[in-house]
Amino acid sequence: MAYMTDRKRAKGLGSANSGTGHFWSMKLSSVALLILIPLFVFTFGPALGGSYEEILAYYSRPFPAIVAALTLLVGFKHFNDGVQVMIEDYVHGLSKKVAIIVMTCISYGAAAVGVFAIARLAL
């Protein structure tokens, strides 16, 4: 920290110019998940054990569908950020860039498939 300029010290950015933003993104998504996970559990619980028609009717209502979709989106975003930090810490060189790109595609793809499935149920 001794070599940082006053401007960088005031902005809170390190040498990569992105650490603070990534940190706050992780904190924000974790707080959102702190709220969304109990909501998801309490909205998903009544649907357990139901037939396909009952599940279809249950997720046709907007609140359970929105809670499930938000939980999926925020959860996979948080997962992607966490895996990116882990890859940046333990993988080096070109394989680091490739691993980050692959994990980003996998996590966003899984979130898209989940939201598409919920949209098919809800609509």
pLDDT, tens digit (0-9, with 9 covering 90-100), for 18-60: 667 888 899 999 999 999 999 999 998 888 999 999 999 999 9
Q: What is the pLDDT of residue 11?
A: 64
Q: pLDDT band at 90, cuts 50/70/90?
A: very high
Q: How many domains does the chain have?
A: 1
Residue 24's domain spans which residues?
16-122
Non-local (6+) Cβ contacts of 32 within 8 A are: 70, 74
**Percent of all residues in the chain with a pLDDT value above 90, rounded to a whole number:** 72
Structure tokens at 29: 């998504």
Nearest alpha-carbon partner for 57 in 48, 47, 67, 49:
47
Domain assignment of residue 73, yes or no: yes
Q: What is the mean pLDDT of residues 67-84?
A: 96
Q: Is 10 part of any domain? A: no
7 domain residue, yes or no: no
Q: Is residue 4 one of the residues assigned to a domain?
A: no
68 vs 47: CA distance, rounded Å: 12
In a domain, 1, yes or no: no
Q: Domain holding 70: CATH number?
A: 1.20.1300.10
